[in-house]
Homo-oligomer: A and B are copies of this chain.
Amino acid sequence: MIFERIKSEGLAHLSYFVGSGNEAIVIDPRRDCQIYFDIARREGMKIKYIFETHRNEDYVIGSLELKELTDAEIYHGKGVDFKYGIFVSDGQEFNFGSMKLTALHTPGHTDESMSYALTYPESGKAPLMVFTGDALFVGDVGRTDLYGPEEIPRMAANLYESIFNKILPLGDGVILCPAHGAGSLCGGAISKREYSTLGLERIQNPALQRTDKEEFIKFKLEEKLEFPPYFKKMEQYNLQGPPLLKGLPVPELLFPKEFVKEMEKGAMVVDTRMPHSFGGAHIKGSYGIWLKGLPYYAGWVLPYDKPILLVLEEKDQLETAVSYLVRIGYDSIAGFLNGGISSWYMKALPVESLNLISVQSLKDKIEKNEEMVILDVRRDEEWEKGHIEGARHVYVGHLEENLDKVPRNSPIIVYCDSSRRSNIAASILKKKGYDMVYNVLGSMTAWKNAGYKVVK
């Protein structure tokens, strides 16, 4: 038996490769799917089936891409008008090698959500693992608000039934294989623990302590989760079947002059360097989204109708940046700046910088009562747990449509928890014409480490 958990950073997306004998299956493949093919080759196996747990809303599913490479069949749940793949029924069984996979209809997160229980008939009937998609996570359950607030009661009731009457009854000893780990937008409180079993979840998962159905529904009604704008695009892609890439796009290497030309034609510049480097010098008008933040934050701030131009710290980060972008459907990548930001300023092309300030300096400014606006761009729940006194709050993902809350006539001091999201926010403000923008190095983490006061 071969079992591999493939984690896509940033999205905290988990997909799975399970092989037995000469045959293998993949659950919820990502779009840059060569990795599953390579495992299969290494093991001398053929991928026979691809299973989708549901129509994903937070990334582009790679099923069609993988089918193109392997000729495996794609299966997913009924009730959504998928334009590709085969519908699977509750209870349907699939054999590969010595293993058996049984499909379970487990609606709640979406109506067509499926779980898949894996058994090894040679040792007995008890399932070994269950692939729960976005129904059940380590430490949390799937969100039930995707169809709108008015549908939450129905969805939460479905989810309750799916978890308590279908999944948990599989047995305490079943290993839990969810579609996401901590950091995903598909659940608010997924544990960093990352490994679990149904038994552990039954006794430790906070949501599963709501064993009364009404209480469970109430709990879900109270949940507030962000809904980034790119979800709509993902849903549409994953319904129709996304465009086939046949390998990762290979963006063109552009010299500064060519880069300028693409900018003039309307391409957006995305600079994936860290805040200290982006702050030092960057191309005027560029978005500053650090590399590992790309899979999560690109979808909040970048439109889909313009090509992307990349500025990287190191040339060898190109493939990572490209894979992060295509995972969420940004397929049009016009090129990357050859030689990075250095080549740009060597040509005397216009650069900007951000004011990077330490928490000590910020403290100082506050004590001196300097005129400024302190802007906290973290999520609501982070803000609510404590913030710097006097700060205003706009989540970075909503900043562009809430600029009215950010005055233009005074210095803006932006912070988050680390200076990475505040770097995105600061780059947006600069792009929108704000000129006195500061990013707080280390932000709330440094602020607390310095022992400074936090208010609620």
Does A351 belong to the interface (CB within 8 Å)? yes
Return the chain B residue nearest A353 by Cβ: B356
Q: Is the CB of B348 within 8 A of A447?
A: yes
Known contacts A345-B419, A358-B350, A360-B348; A202/B175 CB under 8 A: no
A209 to chain B, nearest CB (A): 11
Does A276 belong to the interface (CB within 8 Å)? yes
Does A193 belong to the interface (CB within 8 Å)? yes
Q: Is the CB of A274 within 8 A of B274?
A: no
Segment at the interface with B among A107-115, A149-157, A166-174, A380-388: A166-174
CA distance A420 to B287 in the complex (A): 25
Does A95 belong to the interface (CB within 8 Å)? no
Which residues of A, 127-164, contact B by the 8 Å Cβ criterion? 128-129, 139
Residues of chain B contacted by A174 (CB below 8 angstroms): 197, 199-200
Picked from B22, B196, B346, the residue with its CB within 8 Å of the CB of A128 is B196
Does A8 belong to the interface (CB within 8 Å)? no
Give a binary string over A46-81; 1 marks a CB under 8 Å from any B CB, 0 the rest: 100000000000000000000000000000000000
Return the chain B residue nearest A127 by Cβ: B200
Picked from B191, B253, B275, B346, the residue with its CB within 8 Å of the CB of A442 is B346
Segment at the interface with B among A228-236, A261-269, A336-344, A371-379: A336-344
Picked from B128, B313, B418, the residue with its CB within 8 Å of the CB of A277 is B313
Q: Is the CB of B314 within 8 A of A313?
A: yes
Known contacts A196-B128, A360-B348; A123/B277 CB under 8 A: no
Picked from B46, B202, B340, B419, the residue with its CB within 8 Å of the CB of A173 is B202
Does A198 belong to the interface (CB within 8 Å)? yes
CA distance A346 to B358 in the complex (A): 10
CA distance A227 to B152 in the complex (A): 62
CA distance A313 to B199 in the complex (A): 43
Return the chain B residue nearest A446 by Cβ: B348
Q: Is the CB of A204 within 8 A of B255?
A: no
Does A243 belong to the interface (CB within 8 Å)? no
22 contacts between A and B (CB under 8 A): A41-B315, A44-B253, A44-B339, A122-B193, A123-B139, A123-B193, A123-B200, A124-B200, A124-B203, A128-B200, A172-B173, A172-B197, A173-B200, A175-B197, A280-B280, A313-B313, A342-B418, A342-B419, A346-B418, A347-B442, A348-B450, A350-B358
Given A173-B201, A350-B360; 12 other pairs, CB 8 A cutoff: A46-B253, A123-B139, A123-B193, A126-B199, A128-B196, A172-B173, A173-B196, A175-B197, A276-B342, A279-B280, A280-B356, A281-B356
